Amino acid sequence: MKLIKQYFPELSEVQLQQFEAIAEVYKDWNQKINVVSRKDIDEIYIRHVLHSLGIAKVQTFLPGSKILDVGTGGGFPGIPLAILFPETQFTLVDSIGKKIKVVEEVVDALELKNVTAVNDRVENISGEYDFIVSRAVAVMPSFVHWVKGKIAKESKHGRKNGILYLKGGDLSEELKPYRTVEIFELSELFEEDFFDTKKVVYLPMKYRG
């Protein structure tokens, strides 16, 4: 929790309480429905919360904007981002029902009013979004195919609407087809060793395949 305060010093009292509560809520639910490994639960702030918030270090979300979190699992990166941006609407999607059950319970426990959880495949989700976020659920070409047509054409932010993707390792082959892609090294934003190979990949809407 100290790390959250260190990297995000402007948090309100409500946001601090929500981030404080997140570890207990997940520990409790993880005993009933296992969505996070035991090792990761013990390091939830670095491996899940702060990792998710790496996206916020690259892109802030304006009030009223709409974000789609694809393959959210237990609610990452969507839930930490929803705490950080309470006036932004988040839709968290996962095809596995028990994971969405945990997301719904966490959202209720943290009293988040800006999160909708959906148990479905992303291909079946309607609507358009300013940004689509995810944590390494597939290689980029597959992901781009899944979310085709779901990115709003009009950009409200300084950066064009598109995909913000948390990934690690060597991505040069995977991203070779995308000339407009930008890669942000999380090791330059967070000093912990966990982030040494972690990245935020930004692919604007007008990508070339």
- Report the first-to-last Cα separation within the chain, whole angstroms: 41
Query: Tokens 């639960």 label which residue?
Result: 41
Backbone conformation region of residue 57, classed left if phi is above 0, alpha if psi is from -120 to 50, else beta: alpha
Q: Which of 169, 155, 146 is nearest to 206 (CA)?
A: 155
Instruction: State the pairing for strand pair 66-70/182-185.
Output: unpaired
Is 76 annotated as contributing to ligand binding?
A: yes
- Structural contact between residues 73 and 94, judged by C-beta atoms closer than 8 angstroms: yes
Is 159 annotated as contributing to ligand binding?
A: no
- Residue ranges in the chain assigned as alpha helix (H): 2-7, 13-32, 38-42, 44, 51-58, 78-84, 97-109, 140-146
- Structure tokens belonging to residue 91: 């839709």
Is 123 annotated as contributing to ligand binding?
A: yes
Q: What letters, b where the CB count within 10 A reaches 16 and e where it falls short, cover 1-16?
A: eeebeebbeeeeeebe
Numbered residues of the known binding site for S-adenosyl-L-methionine: 71, 76, 122-123, 135
Numbered residues of the known binding site: 71, 76, 122-123, 135
